[in-house]
Amino acid sequence: MDFKLSKTHLLQQELYRKFAEEEIKPLAEDMDETEEFNMDLLAKMHKYGLMGIPYSKEFGGVGGDYLSYALCMEEVSKKDGSTGITISVHTSLYCSCLDYFGTDEQKDKFLRPCIDGSATGCFGLTEPNAGSDAAGQQTQAVYDPDTDEYIINGGKVFTTNSGFADYCTVFAMTDKSQGTRGISCFVVDLHQKGVTISQNIKRMGIRAAQNCEVTYEDVRVPAFNRIGKEGQGFKIAMRALDGGRIGIAAQSVGLAQGAIDEAMAYVKERKQFGRPLSAFQTTQFKLADMQTKVDAARLLTWRAALTKDSGENYSKEAAMAKLFASDVANQVCREAVQLMGGYGYCREYPVERALRDAKITEIYEGTSEVMKMVISGAMKVNAK
Amino acid sequence: MKIVVCIKQVPDTNEVKLDPVTNRLIRDGVPSIINHDDKSAIEQALRIKEELNDGTTVTIVCMGPPQADVALREALAMGADEAYLLSAREFGGSDTCATAIIISTALKRIGFDLVLTGRQAIDGDTAQVGPQIAENLGVPQVSYAEEVTVNGKEVLVKRQYEDRYHMIKVQMPCLLTALQELAEPRYMHAGGIIDAYNKDITVWGFDDLKDGLNPDDIGLMGSPTRVVTSFGKMQKGAGVKYDVPAEEAVQIIIDKLEERHLI
Ligand SMILES: Cc1cc2nc3c(=O)[nH]c(=O)nc-3n(C[C@H](O)[C@H](O)[C@H](O)COP(=O)(O)OP(=O)(O)OC[C@H]3O[C@@H](n4cnc5c(N)ncnc54)[C@H](O)[C@@H]3O)c2cc1C
């Protein structure tokens, strides 16, 4: 076992780092202020392959793996958490549903334009009354045999990317009596009649991400758009979220590493009591602790990615990575602000934004409590 | 049409420091990059290829140590079609003259319609290799290219000069040396990186080129250049700009010269 990245991964890391430095960093502060995502940036991310990393070339993807995707998520999130989640929801929540469960015809129609073009996807699972308890779906899809269509009615909340996305995987009850096994997954074209998308929800962090309420009123979708069988929706959502958590873990690592990099530069420059802050042992030890935690989080993240890439079950590894890395991101970003004092608290310095962005990593794609349910479940703690 | 771009892997001079004692570049631990002018040449070649869209190909040639492989992968990931690495112990220590001999020998075997090189490499700044290759190949050359337009068998080049531009028409086969301003390089494509590592890079050593190479002309022994000393640049003071009528300007200059007892 060695901890070195392969040549392919190293060169990809170089690309993602350069892209983040030159294309994302200059926009991040303004996107946060205006709560708008820059559409030119989105187009560039599509152009250079950042929106289709772990998908096969056959459908226009990059042909990379989950480790490549984690590297991208870290580099991008070092500069901007909002851009990180934009890539993540598109890649590991929307595209993965099609990649895992779509037929070749469905992949051609709904995956290819999203990884080989400019179309963007989102993922509509959470509802006002179905958060951690995602099985409690109230959105309904009723089959109309006359037209071979489903008619969708209901409301989703917190659908990231919905502000500009073209497609959404929407989860809806097709058979209430079956409970979790009564949920199905549909690709909905968001430009179609009956779909209403709210303004970007006002939030504490990742403010440039476009995270809206989406209501579906008599939205007709061809049966062709159903991914997997009827009743497979919950399974599809959980599979997608397992992979998504690796992306969020990597986003957390990026936010934390970015904050360390900023704080390092600052403590070398800033002088108090006649010396740079970096000369104080408390500063040195704090940074040593911060970097150690981030390295541990990164290793857990890479382990989860490699486990997934090897084809083994990785639910537990992904949940552990997300649980740990999201906690580290919050601790480390908070300490980075502390190291930089009043300036760290100001919007002019990116650690202020990183601290606000970090909080969400403990909430979305399953809260930290839900991660512990997944991990303890896999450990069979409660089994006889 | 076949475009060949010659590139060099150089230390990233943004990260390089001079050894205060020997005045030589400290290369240890410094990341390597594709020389800026050369990267702009790659971009120009790719644009010509895309514009013509007629099966035109872009081939990259690099002479350097085995580690230069990554520079070629980067060029492939930007969209180049094939790559050659010229690497051999016998080539080590070559100056610009010997380097140009080795590269032109390779180019004769590879074949070309248009050869692009960078103007100069940031670790040597000689600007000699491109023109020397053209001489060895016996093809016309235009250096300092800032704009390039291909028209059939003809290339129109806007050549930057100190105080003017030259517009030069040249027939292919020919060689151009590119300025960094010629074309802003694109990023690698993420999928291009995967493809780049699935491709074979042709590595040519001395034996592969020996039919056209005289061993006495290459390497350290074949290099006529002798570096006597190297030293850091003296920092010039910032100049002062006067935006005044000619009469006044003349007076200012005379005053300055008198002040320093030069006149
Ligand atoms: C910015 C943002 C982006 C999002 N993007 C998307 C998206 O793109 N698509 C999508 O479908 N959803 C998205 N979500 C939704 C997100 O996944 C949910 O908010 C999250 O799963 C938690 O659900 P909830 O907010 O309803 O909280 P609740 O489920 O109400 O939880 C509240 C608290 O109770 C705890 N809790 C709940 N049940 C238990 C239990 N059994 N034991 C112990 N503690 C428990 C939780 O851990 C949490 O701390 C997004 C949310 C946000 C804020």
Q: What is the DSSP string of chain B?
A: -EEEEEE-EEE-GGG-EE-TTT--EE-TTPPEEE-HHHHHHHHHHHHHHHHH-SS-EEEEEEES-GGGHHHHHHHHHHT-SEEEEE--GGGTT--HHHHHHHHHHHHHHH--SEEEEES--TTT----HHHHHHHHHT--EEEEEEEEEEETTEEEEEEE-SS-EEEEEEESSEEEEE-GGG-PPPPPPHHHHHHHHHSPPEEE-HHHHGGG--GGGSTTTT---------PPPPPPPP------HHHHHHHHHHHHHHTT--
Amino acid identity for residue B247 in this structure? E
Q: Which residue of chain A is at minimal alpha-carbon distance from B196?
A: A8
**Among candidates A301, A352, A303, A304, which has minimal Cα distance to A325?**
A301
Question: A-chain residues within 8 Å CB-CB of B190?
Answer: 12, 15-16, 48-50, 52-53, 62, 64, 68, 72
Assigned token pair, B167: 């517009």
**pLDDT reported for residue B14:** 77
**pLDDT reported for residue B236:** 73
In a domain, B118, yes or no: yes
Across the interface, do A8 and B197 touch by the CB < 8 Å criterion? yes
Across the interface, do A15 and B77 touch by the CB < 8 Å criterion? yes
* Cis peptide leading into residue B215 (ω within 30°): no
Q: Is pLDDT above 90 for B178?
A: yes
Rg (CA), chain B: 21
Q: Is pLDDT above 80 for B18?
A: no
In a domain, B172, yes or no: yes
* ipTM of the complex in this document: 0.93
**Residue tagged 């337009």 (tokens):** B149
Contact B98, B219 (CB under 8 A): yes
Contact A361, A322 (CB under 8 A): yes
Q: Is pLDDT above 90 for B144?
A: yes
Contact A252, A244 (CB under 8 A): no
Contact A88, A120 (CB under 8 A): no
Distance CA B182, CA B147 (A): 6
pLDDT tens digit sequence for A205-227? 999 999 999 999 999 999 999 99
**pLDDT reported for residue A273:** 97
Distance CA A198, CA A177 (A): 31
We report the CATH number of the domain holding residue B50 as 3.40.50.620
Distance CA A187, CA A168 (A): 6
Mean pLDDT of B158-178: 96
Mention every residue, 6+ apart, whose C-beta is less than 8 A from residue A30.
none
Q: Distance, in angstroms, between B118 CA and closest chain A CA?
A: 22
The residues of A carrying an active-site annotation are 365
Calculate the alpha carbon distances from B185 to A78, A129, B12, B41, B45 in Å: 24, 50, 16, 8, 10
* H/E segment holding residue A170: strand A167-173
In a domain, B225, yes or no: no
Contact A176, A182 (CB under 8 A): yes
Question: Which backbone phi and psi does B123 adopt, to 5 degrees?
Answer: -95, 5
Q: HSE-up of B11 (CA within 13 Å, CB side)?
A: 15
Residue of B9, B194, B197, B199 to mutate for A, most A C-beta atoms under 10 A:
B194
**pLDDT reported for residue B190:** 98
In a domain, B66, yes or no: yes
Mean pLDDT of A342-364: 97
Q: Which of A162-171, A303-312, B189-198, B229-238 is predicted least confidently?
A: B229-238
In a domain, B113, yes or no: yes
B18 touches chain A (CB under 8 A): no
Mean pLDDT of A224-251: 98
Q: Is the dihedral of CA B241, B242, B246, B249 positive or negative?
A: negative
Across the interface, do B191 and A64 touch by the CB < 8 Å criterion? yes
Q: Is pLDDT above 90 for B124?
A: no
Across the interface, do B193 and A61 touch by the CB < 8 Å criterion? no
Q: Which chain A residues have any C-beta within 8 angstroms of a chain B C-beta? A: 7-8, 11-12, 15-16, 18-19, 48-50, 52-53, 57, 61-64, 68, 72
Q: Which of A289-293, B23-27, B196-200, B237-241 is predicted least confidently?
A: B23-27
pLDDT tens digit sequence for A84-130? 999 999 999 999 999 999 999 999 999 999 999 889 999 999 999 99
Would you place residue B231 in the very low, low, confident or very high pLDDT band (cuts 50, 70, 90)? confident
**pTM flag (> 0.90):** yes
Question: A-chain residues within 8 Å CB-CB of B196?
Answer: 11
Question: Which backbone phi and psi does A31 adopt, to 5 degrees?
Answer: -65, -40
Atom of ligand 1 nearest to the CA of A133: 29
Percent of chain B residues topping a pLDDT of 70: 97
Average pLDDT, chain A: 97
Across the interface, do A64 and B74 touch by the CB < 8 Å criterion? no
Atom of ligand 1 nearest to the CA of A125: 11
**pLDDT reported for residue A101:** 98
Q: Which of B24-38, B187-201, B204-218 is predicted least confidently?
A: B24-38
Write a three-state SS string for B65-118.
CHHHHHHHHHHHHHCCCEEEEECCHHHCCCCHHHHHHHHHHHHHHHCCCEEEEE
What is the residue range of B179's domain? 2-217
Q: Is pLDDT above 90 for B221?
A: no
Mean pLDDT of B138-167: 96
Q: Which of A31-35, A184-188, A373-377, B19-23 is predicted least confidently?
A: B19-23
* H/E segment holding residue A271: strand A271-272
Q: Which of B13-27, B126-140, B179-193 is predicted least confidently?
A: B13-27
Would you place residue A60 in the very low, low, confident or very high pLDDT band (cuts 50, 70, 90)? very high
**pLDDT reported for residue B126:** 87
Pocket of ligand 1 (CB under 6 A): A 89, 122-126, 131-132, 158-160, 203, 206, 211, 360, 363-367, 369-370
**pLDDT reported for residue A26:** 98
The secondary structure of residue A366, as a DSSP letter, is S
In a domain, B13, yes or no: yes
Q: State how many domains chain B has.
A: 1
Mention every residue, 6+ apart, whose C-beta is less than 8 A from residue A120.
A42, A46, A51, A90, A114, A161, A164, A165, A166, A167
Distance CA A148, CA A144 (A): 6
Contact A207, A231 (CB under 8 A): no
**Residue tagged 């390597």 (tokens):** B32
Q: Is pLDDT above 80 for B238?
A: no
Average pLDDT, chain B: 92
Would you place residue A2 in the very low, low, confident or very high pLDDT band (cuts 50, 70, 90)? confident
Q: In what order do the strands lie in the sheet with B165-171?
A: B165-171, B154-160, B141-151, B174-178, B114-118, B2-7, B57-63, B82-86, B202-204
In a domain, B194, yes or no: yes
Contact A61, A55 (CB under 8 A): yes
Q: Is pLDDT above 80 for B21?
A: no
**pLDDT reported for residue A117:** 82
Largest CA distance in chain B: 69
In a domain, B244, yes or no: no
Q: Which domains does chain A have, with CATH numbers?
A: 7-115 (1.10.540.10), 121-232 (2.40.110.10), 235-378 (1.20.140.10)
